[in-house]
Amino acid sequence: MVKFRQNKIKWTGIGLLTLTAPLFVFILCFTISIQAQSGFELTPLTYNEKLQEKASKKTQLPGQFGDHFRSGEEPEIIHINISSNGTTQFCPENPFLGELLDSIADLSCSSPQNTTIEIADNCLIFEAGPSGATVQSDTFCIMLTGSEGSEADLLLLVNVRPIRSLPFVDDFSYSGPFPHPDYWIDRFVFVNNTLVINPVSVGTATFDGIDDTGRPYGGDFGRADHLTSAFIDMTSAIPGQCFLTFYIQAGGYSYVPDNAELLILEFKTEDGDWEEITSYSSADHPDNERFYFKSIQLEERFFYEDFKFRFVNLADGTGMNSNWHLNYVKLANEFQADLIFENDIAFTRPPSSALERYTAMPFRQFVGHEREELATEIQIGLHNHFNGTRQADPSNLRIIEASTGQQLLSETLLEVPPVVDENQRDLDPGFHFFTNNIQNEEPYKNNVEAMTGSLMDKMIIRTEYSFQQNEEQIPELIRNNQVSGETVISDYYAYDDGSAERAFNVFFGTGSSAPALGVQYHSNTGDTLRGIAVNLPRISPGDRNKRFRLMVWGASLDDEPLFESENLGPRFVDVFHDSIQGFSTYALRSPVTGNDTAIYIPAGDFHVGWKQISRGASGVYVGFDSNNPDNADHVFFSDGAIWRRIGDINPGVRGAVMIRPIFSDEPVVQTNVFELDGAPKTIRLYPNPANDEIHFGDSDALGGIDKLVVYSMDGKMYPVSYHDNRVDITHLPPGSYILAIRYKNSNELRYGQFIKQDVR
């Protein structure tokens, strides 16, 4: 059965059409065949064909256990969770075709410190000791033998987890991208603050149909993302007064689930079975900009010592095209009649960019123009969960230069009349949105100018909001009293926040000229354009075969372009990142000689973009950031004849196209593509996630390190120091990173992904 969606928006020269948008290319071709002219469209983020190929293989085996296995095949890796002082049984499935499972053996590949193992009746029985306050882990290498002598290996990663007491609370107000392991035992959902609209607290868990490596689940319609709680001691629960409460949203800035794509809540019974408690459909939650409050009273049969609950969504397995969002989860005894109220005031959004127009800009374009480029207004989002007016005071707005720690501004965040029109400190229940002027604007700009006048060539402006609320008592809810955001002043312009919610492409119509898209920027002073970075999410098989040309225009898009590249193909950085959010860098190179070239951009407006070359149902896909709607005013589309602002064509398409011009005196480093024809070589990083440092192996065997760099998922490079096989990551903000190493003797390039944890 072919599944159709109604969420894709497509425009042609004839007018605006909302079409049924098929998920399969051959049907899309039929859809496009009835179009007379070219146009553009938004589409869901879906899958990466290289990652999908990798997903069909076994998980890479940690190198230190390889010598213990005898079957010659990489073992299946299985995660097992046990409560502190608990016992669990694992009975592996028979992996042998035409044979019975004859025996199970422990190969003793490690010395377990927290767990004992017993083998009985072809099952493994684990008994855990006390875990203390943190998760403790052991590893077991298991050999399965069939009745005809066949062998198969299992690598069991056993986590002994502390049992949490009531109340259990998580509002996801941390960096992510995975849920915090103290509260959740799996990491399939995506913790973010970009895909949702009007959250009740900053940070949300999104069921996005993509697994923890950035890949779609594949297969037929069925269960996709899981979010499973830690073990919870329910012996203190009060009958009739114990409730699980939470908020859900269908769609948000992403795509609304179909009615059959449910969000399901399940409870674990004391017998060990998962029982469905309820489910939610988008038909019952039609407002994709609203979070709906839910409350579930627990029956006494769930009041046992190591209770768990979980959420799971149903999806078609093709990717990020039907999203549920979960926020503000609490399991507790409640002593008030109306459960929607909570003793908490929360920020609902991080600070916006420190720049007036951009989210990033080149340092040389910023220097001397700080006063007109710096934003002088700030946007503040809050939600009062109290049942009554409460005070958020004192509060603070603090702006620093992150790499040096130099303070640029510190003043009160929430004001009262006559500074502002209304009292922002005494908040009624519900949402509050404020736009304030920076009060100490002149000293702030003076401090920034003093820094740019030094020997710096890059700045990271970090904006921090915070307040105090003395009646808040749950530690997990106090952390939403502070939020922060960073603005990079380096070598590139950006309108986006680094996170794509959808994908944008321009496409051919029947017999039409090549369509193109241009994004307008402004140069304060003449400078040298050397490259263009593009967010290239992989959407469908065959995307790598699409061809386009990068374009640079001056002040007028109607004039001859300043630069037009040769025909190019996508360079999918997500092959290395296991991510759909990476940027690929293209150096500007002469289409005649192939040499690096520099394009002089005089002061004034200029445009960068692309022209679609290959025909087909769709063009090359570029990331689209829905969180910056006003930036659609700088995006222009040409059907091959005339240029028009996309907002004039379709006012509903609001956001930033994720393309970034790069300025430099030297040629830029282009995204490598030689690994794309085969699986990229990886390097093992541990511990992962990490707090202060990560370790890697094999440097001696490969001839020592020539170069080591670390990149964030939005393409930023971070300088790091390393010694032997240890890399210092203490200065990195929490998030996902790629470590790339080039080795001296072999000239081999290897990659590894790691998570820097939020230790707040």
The domain that contains 157 carries what CATH number?
Answer: 2.60.40.10
Half-sphere CA count of 308, side-chain side, radius 13 A: 23
Same domain, 215 and 336: yes
The pLDDT tens digits for 20-36 are: 233 222 222 222 223 44
| Reported confidence tier of residue 759, pLDDT bands at 50, 70, 90 | low
Same domain, 479 and 539: no
AA letter at 308: K
Three-state SS at 528: strand
Query: Which residue, of 161, 182, 207, is where some domain finishes?
Result: 161
- 9 in a structural domain: no
Asked if omega into 199 is within 30° of 0 (cis), the reply is: no
- 15 in a structural domain: no
Same domain, 245 and 323: yes
The pLDDT tens digits for 699-744 are: 554 567 877 888 776 556 677 888 878 899 988 887 778 888 877 7
Same domain, 471 and 518: no
The pLDDT tens digits for 591-623 are: 989 899 999 999 999 999 999 999 887 899 999
Q: What is the average per-residue pLDDT within 526-532? A: 96
Same domain, 417 and 274: no
Query: Residue 533's pLDDT is what?
Result: 93
Degrees to nearest 5, angle at CA 532 with 53 and 213: 25
Query: Residue 579's pLDDT is what?
Result: 39
Straight-line distance from the first to the last Cα atom of the chain, in angstroms, rounded to the nearest whole number: 48
Q: Residue 577 pLDDT more than 50? A: no
Higher pLDDT, 575 or 651: 651
Same domain, 156 and 91: yes
Q: Based on C-alpha coordinates, what's the Rg of the chain? A: 27
Q: Residue 335 pLDDT more than 80? A: yes
Distance CA 503, CA 749 (A): 30
Distance CA 333, CA 166 (A): 8
The CATH code of the domain that includes 716 is 2.60.40
Same domain, 594 and 734: no
Those residues whose C-beta lies under 8 Å from the C-beta of residue 701, and which sit 6 or more positions away, are none
Q: What is the average per-residue pLDDT within 526-533? A: 96
Query: Which residue, of 111, 140, 161, is where some domain finishes?
Result: 161
Query: Residue 715's pLDDT is what?
Result: 57
Q: What is the largest CA-CA distance in the chain?
A: 86
Beta strand 232-233 with 164-165 is parallel
Average pLDDT in the chain: 85
Q: What is the average per-residue pLDDT within 235-247? A: 97
Could you list the residue range(s) of the whole structural domain that residue 190 is in?
A: 164-340
Q: Residue 750 pLDDT more than 50? A: yes
Query: Residue 60's pLDDT is what?
Result: 43
Q: How many domains does the chain have?
A: 5
Distance CA 487, CA 427 (A): 29
Distance CA 529, CA 538 (A): 27
Distance CA 551, CA 370 (A): 29
Same domain, 539 and 618: yes
Distance CA 338, CA 324 (A): 25
Same domain, 173 and 149: no
Take residue 603 and report the two structure tokens written for it: 């002061």
> CA nearest 295: which of 272, 307, 277?
277
The CATH code of the domain that includes 273 is 2.60.120.260
Q: Residue 521 pLDDT more than 70? A: yes
- 24 in a structural domain: no
Token pair 């390889």 is found at 66
- 35 in a structural domain: no
Higher pLDDT, 327 or 43: 327
Query: Residue 713's pLDDT is what?
Result: 62
Same domain, 611 and 561: yes
Phi–psi pair at 153, nearest 5 degrees: -115, 150
Query: Residue 666's pLDDT is what?
Result: 87
- 48 in a structural domain: no
Query: Residue 699's pLDDT is what?
Result: 55
Query: Residue 4's pLDDT is what?
Result: 21
Query: Which residue, of 490, 515, 541, is where some domain finishes?
Result: 490
Those residues whose C-beta lies under 8 Å from the C-beta of residue 408, and which sit 6 or more positions away, are 399, 400, 401, 444, 447, 448, 451, 461
> CA nearest 206: which of 285, 288, 318, 323?
323
Q: Residue 745 pLDDT more than 60? A: yes
The pLDDT tens digits for 376-421 are: 999 999 999 999 999 999 999 999 999 899 999 999 999 999 999 9
Distance CA 139, CA 137 (A): 7
Distance CA 760, CA 758 (A): 6
Same domain, 361 and 427: yes
- 395 in a structural domain: yes
Query: Residue 632's pLDDT is what?
Result: 93
| Reported confidence tier of residue 92, pLDDT bands at 50, 70, 90 | very high
- 23 in a structural domain: no
- 59 in a structural domain: no
Half-sphere CA count of 392, side-chain side, radius 13 A: 33
Same domain, 115 and 168: no
